[in-house]
Amino acid sequence: MSNTIDNLLHEARRFAPSEQFAANAVATADLYERASADRLGFWADQARELLHWHTPFTSTLDWSNPPFATWFDDGALNVAYNCLDRHVLAGNGDRVAIHWEGEPGDTRTITYAELTAEVKKAANLLTALGVRAGDRVAIYLPMIPEAVIAMLAVARLGAVHSVVFGGFSAESLRSRIDDAEAKLVITADGGWRKGRVFPLKDAVDAALQGGDTTVEHVLVVKRGENEVAWTEGRDLWWHDEIALVDADHVAAAFPAENPLFILYTSGTTGKPKGILHTSGGYLTQAAFTHKNVFDLRPESDVYWCSADVGWITGHTYVVYGPLANGATQVLYEGTPETPHPGRWWELIEKYKVSIFYTAPTAIRSFMKLGRQHPQKFDLSSLRVLGSVGEPINPEAWMWYREVIGGGETPIVDTWWQTETGAIMVSALPGVTTLKPGSAQVPLPGISIDILDEAGVPVGKDQGGLLVVTEPWPSMLRGIWGDPERFKETYWSKFGDKYFAGDGARYDKDGEIWLLGRVDDVMNVSGHRLSTAEIESALVAHPLTAEAAVVGAADETTGQAVVAFVIIKQNQLEYAESIDVAAELRKHVSEQIGAIARPREIFIVNELPKTRSGKIMRRLLRDVAEGREVGDTTTLADTAVMSSIQSKLS
């Protein structure tokens, strides 16, 4: 590993928790001690303390048949009961569960008692439609309360949901429906996005066209009020049907290992993987991490995670974690810039949000727009900020802390994956001294290491591949219908250590820095360079708003660094007057070393991103290598690639 990767790790800023925060923090340092003294006992305690078990478990982990783990196997619980009924029975029925805000400005306030009542009716409705424990239900909804209600109703019946992000095409929806053999689809006529209604029911119709499907019914929530086609006998309006069912529903207990959901995620090959999660272990780690990583006080906090329920972050940190913990949260339907670029900050002021969890890509686009937008609003209610989805470069971290967090709030950079189910590596607010750009330390009870290609653990100040060395409660239990691919993808490289597919490095203190997917780590003249590191250097330059770096095949050096850069709005005029590419190449060279100097820098207006905000480097690599651009169907905005290409030609 070359020294050139070190630049990021020389980040010297440190932020110790304030005395006051530390004194009142939910998480305490003794969690680490308890977990290292008796890891399984620690998780068993968490499962007992944080959840209600209809049948208590006696066994914690069974790892006798790796990589197939079971947790709390002989226990039984109901996931929805844990998220709803028990809070009402404990006297918290009047607490707001969801402050919902539609994009056009309409609102709904839903208490725990009301949410419980809605989910009971929905469970009765699904039962009437033939849904039984183990059946799969596809959910294709906008960010409206019914998305949460539908997920919990499915869970309440011991059935399995497969939420498909509303931005996915009919084709993607169809392949997911087929793979899971879903019996029911829950959708809406449409939802609001960027000031317009986008149709959803149309996509379901297109997906199911021609019949020959496992789907028996399509349940349609009215939201967009847009016209929809109707297939008699198959299609049903949610509001019509829900009016016909009983209000009461008793939650039955299901085994801890009962499947809870399938969530599809892209792998290195074309076919998405259906990641399978089960009940007891998943909910334990969801609740534990949500409480401790976000310093949650359910009686007083207002929490907001901006993720869509179509992603794992929405599953664990919009639905299961917060609701299992009885938190009050904001749910927002629309986009951050509608109808004005300060909408998110307006919502934080309006609902006095105290804990906010979002992605670096969002933070960087706000940086691009400028601090004048957040500064119009009172953000003083915020006391904890979180980041997830990709490495957060120190510049964005600092901006987040200063402009959004008033220079005071702790920021937790949380590393985890669809596969891990819940947060794995993160600081604990009030405990950890924060280091901008680093995810820092494994959570209590989580065993992480960094190995070299031969499987040997690397030392401080060295890099390699991130692995999870011991099973964890919310780990994926498999890939739906494909045990071989499960073994091959995650467990063939290092035996019974889970291979995450991320490059990582220990710094001099032995803390963890994520370096991006291993396929995003370049090899230039035998030196390993991280896309994250070069991007970070580029965005540290005053001209740069956003940057994406790819390794393009190069005859002499193996790979070469190619950068795509967006210039800040207020710097455009100045940029016209100089040779920007030369300036930025020099800058990277100064920041990291000549080896990292981009061979080419393309100035563009936009970067291709998935709907979850991840830069699609694969497409940029196609451009950089002069190939025809590959499959763009998962892009949030498919026009971006043509705009980039027109800039280059």
In terms of Cα–Cα distance, which of 435, 617, 443, 417 is closest to 502?
417
Number of continuous H segments (helices) and E segments (strands) in the chain: 22, 30
Q: Does 514 bind ligand 6R9 (CB under 6 A)?
A: yes
Q: Does 164 bind ligand 6R9 (CB under 6 A)?
A: no
Q: Of 188 and 427, which CB lies nearer to ligand 6R9 in the complex structure? A: 427
Binding residue ranges for ATP: 389-391, 413-418, 502, 517, 528
Q: Of 36 and 268, which CB lies nearer to ligand 6R9 in the complex structure? A: 268
The whole-angstrom separation of Cα 517 and Cα 500 is: 9
Q: What is the DSSP letter of 318?
A: I
Q: CB–CB of 416/423 below 8 Å?
A: yes
Q: Of 414 and 432, which CB lies nearer to ligand 6R9 in the complex structure? A: 414
Q: Does 413 bind ligand 6R9 (CB under 6 A)?
A: yes
Q: Binding string, 105-124, against ligand 6R9, x = CB under 6 A? A: --------------------
Q: Does 265 bind ligand 6R9 (CB under 6 A)?
A: yes
The whole-angstrom separation of Cα 522 and Cα 552 is: 9
Q: How many alpha carbons lie under 13 Å from residue 245 in its C-beta half-sphere?
A: 21
Q: CB–CB of 534/608 below 8 Å?
A: no
Which region, judged by CB under 6 A, interacts with ligand 6R9, from 117-125, 200-208, 409-417, 472-480?
Answer: 409-417
Counting beta carbons within 10 angstroms of the beta carbon of residue 636, is it exposed (0 to 12), middle (13 to 18) or buried (19 or more)? middle
Q: Does 381 bind ligand 6R9 (CB under 6 A)?
A: no
Q: Does 440 bind ligand 6R9 (CB under 6 A)?
A: no
Q: Of 259 and 272, which CB lies nearer to ligand 6R9 in the complex structure? A: 272
CB of 518 to ligand 6R9, least distance (A): 9
Both tokens assigned to 306: 């901006």
Point out which residues pair with 109 in neighbouring strands. Answer: 99
Point out which residues pair with 220 in neighbouring strands. Answer: 187, 237
Q: Does 591 bind ligand 6R9 (CB under 6 A)?
A: no
Q: Does 388 bind ligand 6R9 (CB under 6 A)?
A: yes
Q: Of 11 and 74, which CB lies nearer to ligand 6R9 in the complex structure? A: 11
Q: Does 432 bind ligand 6R9 (CB under 6 A)?
A: no
CA 229 distance to own-chain centroid: 33
CB of 611 to ligand 6R9, least distance (A): 11
Q: Does 312 bind ligand 6R9 (CB under 6 A)?
A: yes
CB of 414 to ligand 6R9, least distance (A): 5
Q: Does 521 bind ligand 6R9 (CB under 6 A)?
A: no
Between the alpha carbon of residue 530 and those of residues 452, 517, 527, 579, the distances in Å are 16, 9, 10, 25
Residue 627: count other Cβ atoms within 10 Å of its Cβ: 12
Q: Does 349 bind ligand 6R9 (CB under 6 A)?
A: no
CB of 579 to ligand 6R9, least distance (A): 33
Which region, judged by CB under 6 A, interacts with ligand 6R9, from 103-111, 192-200, 387-395, 561-569?
Answer: 387-395
Q: Which of 280, 391, 421, 471 binds ligand 6R9 (CB under 6 A)?
A: 391
Q: Does 494 bind ligand 6R9 (CB under 6 A)?
A: no
> H/E element holding 162?
strand 160-163
DSSP annotation string for 431-443: TSPB-TT--B-BP
Q: Where are the beta strands (DSSP E) in 273-420?
A: 273-278, 302-305, 328-332, 355-358, 384-387, 411-413
Q: CB–CB of 11/395 below 8 Å?
A: no
Q: Does 418 bind ligand 6R9 (CB under 6 A)?
A: yes
Return residues touching ligand 6R9 (CB under 6 A): 265, 312-313, 388-391, 413-418, 439, 500-502, 514, 517, 612
